[in-house]
């Protein structure tokens, strides 16, 4: 499953014919197959069936709030598993968040979109505070509707940066944007590992970035011992000037790939998708990771080798079985032609051998189990006392006896005795039909 990652423009930019979205197309979630900018109708479609579209909300558009939920607030369906629409549980949670955040927000809560952290349910059960992402609802909904109208319906909405531990375990400094509008972003900031985003300036750099990198505010920093500074190419020179050392280049496309691999999904509450869509999305994401992700390469090779070994083993076993069956058939044909040299063409060796044996018996005047006398003797020995047939017919190894009316128990005993003598029997139309049992 391939993924189209669309980076939304920062608010207050609204959708329109002239608005271009930055995008990244990937097959495994780690490597970009294609990236660039295009209007919504011109965005490439995911290459494989079942591919998903992921929207990335820029860091400038999000506000991160830390809240403590009151006891007794229902948490079923948190973090992307909320029911589609505003059900009673989701509406109640939305009202609780509005009350908790009302005094911290500049806009009216009704105009904002909320999303809780993926581990919100576990944090609430443990009595710990949880992160809530806040952004402008009308802005987000307008872009999602524009992408859907262009045939690029968004399956997940992820933040460009999210609170929590970074890959290095320390605070990470990002410089992004353009030379005219540079931004400083610090991930894993402070004891709560929050996200700090503010316009880049010498003052903000020395006040926030230098301490995050292990130096004193306004002082020097041990570059070799601190966390790396990741900068977009457009602002790398500015970051190097402020740092006084080279920085690590990190493109917007690579940042979008990292954001799409995160666990966050901002499509909650009134933007939540249905349970079926979420299940398909999760299964598709898991299948995509198993099939394309580099960390699963060894497992894919192992599964391929195992499947190949099983296929080779089955083919070898089938070849041995066919060889053994052919040898047995050849032995039966050899036994037939050795015992009866007059048989020149072998079509069905067992049937032909039985026919030749029958001819030998007839020539020798011997009787077989299919003849009338042995069959009648076996029936006479097996019939219950007092049961005598009123009519007897014989034709081609089959004996018909009429006028018998054995009970259920007597029928069972009759079948058992005749089976021991090598005969099958059945009652049909008031007649007992007896014939020699077929040999395996």
The DSSP annotation for 126-162 comes to TT--EEEEEEEHHHHHHHHHHHHHTT---SEEEESS-
Structure tokens at 113: 């979109």
* Listed residue (42, 44, 43, 40) closest to 16, CA to CA: 40
- Specify whether the CB–CB gap between 131 and 65 falls below 8 A: yes
Question: pLDDT category, 200, cuts 50, 70, 90?
Answer: very high
Same domain membership, residue 101 and residue 9: yes
204 CB contacts (<8 Å, ≥6 apart)? 184, 198
CATH number of the domain encompassing residue 98 = 3.30.420.380
Q: Show which of 238, 273, 292 is a domain's final residue.
A: 292
pLDDT at 324 over 80: yes
Indicate whether 338 belongs to any domain. Answer: yes
In terms of domains, do 303 and 423 share one? no
How far apart CA 156 and CA 178 sit, in angstroms, is 27
Residue 225: pLDDT over 50: no
Mean pLDDT, the chain, whole residue set: 84
Q: Are 132 and 82 members of one domain?
A: yes
Poorest-pLDDT segment among 81-85, 168-172, 366-370, 378-382 = 81-85
> Which residues lie across from 158 on neighbouring strands?
56
Q: Coil, helix or strand for 298? A: helix
Q: What is the CATH number of the domain that holds 418?
A: 3.30.1360
What per-residue confidence (pLDDT) applies to 8? 96
Residue 361: per-residue pLDDT? 72
The answer to whether residues 189 and 171 touch, using CB atoms and an 8 Å cutoff, is yes
**Predicted confidence (pLDDT) at residue 220 exceeds the cutoff of 60:** no
Assess whether 54 and 158 both reside in one domain.
Answer: yes
Residue 378 scores a pLDDT above 90: no
* pLDDT number for residue 76: 53
Examine the domain organization and report whether 328 and 399 are in the same domain.
no
Which tokens belong to 238?
A: 């500015």
pLDDT at 237 over 90: yes
Residues 43 and 176 in one domain: no
Lowest mean pLDDT among 134-138, 157-161, 270-274: 270-274
E-strand ranges in 190-308 read 194-199, 229-231, 248-249
Same domain, 151 and 224: no
Q: Same domain for 288 and 316?
A: no
Residues 361 and 377 in one domain: no
Comparing 52-66, 181-195, 269-283, which segment has the lowest mean pLDDT? Answer: 269-283
Q: Which of 99-113, 177-191, 397-411 has the lowest mean pLDDT?
A: 397-411
Residue 206 lies in a domain: yes
406 vs 199, higher pLDDT: 199
pLDDT interval class at 276 (50, 70, 90): very low
Residues 266 and 324 in one domain: no
- Domain boundaries, position 408: 372-436
The per-residue pLDDT for 439 is: 56
Say yes or no: 234 and 142 in one domain: no
The pLDDT score that the predictor gives to residue 406 is: 81
Residue 192 lies in a domain: yes
State how far the Cα of 117 lies from the Cα of 162, in Å rounded to an integer. Answer: 9
Q: Which residues contact 249 (CB under 8 A, 6 or more apart)?
A: 230, 231, 232, 233, 236
Q: Find the range with the poorest average confidence among 62-71, 145-154, 266-275.
A: 266-275
What residues contact residue 265 under an 8 Å CB cut-off, 6+ apart?
Answer: 79, 80, 115, 118, 156, 157, 158
State whether residue 299 is helix, strand or coil: helix
pLDDT of res. 185: 96
Q: What is the spatial distance between Cα 413 and Cα 406, in angstroms, rounded to a whole number?
A: 10
The answer, yes or no, to whether residue 226 has pLDDT greater than 70, is: no
pLDDT in tens, 203-213: 999 999 888 88
pLDDT digits (tens, 9 = 90+) for 290-299: 666 676 778 8
Q: How many domains does the chain have?
A: 4
* Residues 136 and 13 both lie in one domain: yes
When pLDDT is averaged across residues 337-344 and rounded to a whole number, the result is 83
């Amino acid at each position: 499953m391939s993924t189209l990652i669309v980076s939304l423009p920062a608010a207050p930019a609204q959708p329109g014919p002239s608005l271009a979205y930055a995008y990244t197309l990937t097959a495994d979630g780690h490597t970009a197959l294609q990236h660039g900018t295009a209007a919504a109708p011109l965005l490439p479609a995911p290459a494989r069936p079942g591919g998903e579209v992921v929207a990335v909300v820029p860091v400038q558009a999000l506000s991160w709030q830390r809240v403590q939920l009151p006891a007794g607030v229902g948490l079923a369906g948190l973090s992307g598993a909320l029911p589609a629409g505003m059900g009673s549980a989701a509406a109640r949670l939305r009202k609780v968040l509005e009350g908790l955040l009302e005094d911290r927000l500049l806009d009216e809560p009704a105009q904002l979109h909320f999303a809780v952290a993926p581990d919100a349910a576990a944090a609430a059960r443990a009595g710990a505070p949880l992160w809530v992402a806040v952004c402008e609802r009308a802005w987000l909904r307008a872009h999602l509707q524009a992408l859907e109208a262009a045939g690029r319906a968004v399956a997940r909405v992820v933040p460009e940066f999210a609170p929590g531990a970074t890959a290095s375990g320390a605070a990470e400094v990002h410089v992004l944007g353009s030379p005219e509008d540079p931004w400083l972003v610090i991930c894993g900031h402070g004891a709560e590992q929050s996200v700090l985003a503010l316009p880049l300036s010498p003052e903000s750099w020395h006040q926030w970035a230098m301490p995050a990198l292990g130096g004193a505010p306004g002082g020097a920093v041990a570059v070799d011992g601190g966390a790396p500074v990741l900068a977009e190419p457009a602002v790398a020179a500015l970051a190097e000037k402020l740092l006084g050392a080279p920085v690590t280049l990190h493109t917007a496309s690579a940042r979008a790939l990292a954001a799409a691999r995160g666990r966050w999904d901002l499509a909650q509450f009134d933007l939540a998708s249905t349970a079926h869509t979420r299940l398909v999305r999760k299964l598709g994401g898991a299948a995509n990771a198993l099939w394309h992700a580099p960390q699963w390469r060894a497992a894919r090779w192992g599964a391929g080798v195992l499947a190949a070994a099983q296929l080779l083993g089955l083919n070898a076993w089938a070849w041995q079985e066919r060889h053994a069956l052919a040898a047995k058939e050849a032995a039966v044909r050899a036994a037939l032609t050795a015992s009866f040299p007059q048989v020149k063409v072998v079509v069905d060796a067992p049937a032909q051998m039985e026919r030749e044996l029958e001819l030998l018996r007839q020539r020798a005047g011997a009787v077989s189990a299919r003849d009338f006398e042995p069959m009648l003797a076996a029936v006479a020995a097996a019939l219950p006392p007092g049961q005598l047939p009123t009519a007897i017919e014989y034709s081609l190894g089959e004996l018909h006896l009429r006028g018998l009316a054995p009970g259920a128990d007597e029928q069972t005993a009759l079948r058992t005795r005749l089976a021991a003598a090598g005969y099958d029997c059945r009652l049909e139309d008031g007649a007992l039909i007896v014939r020699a049992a077929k040999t395996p």
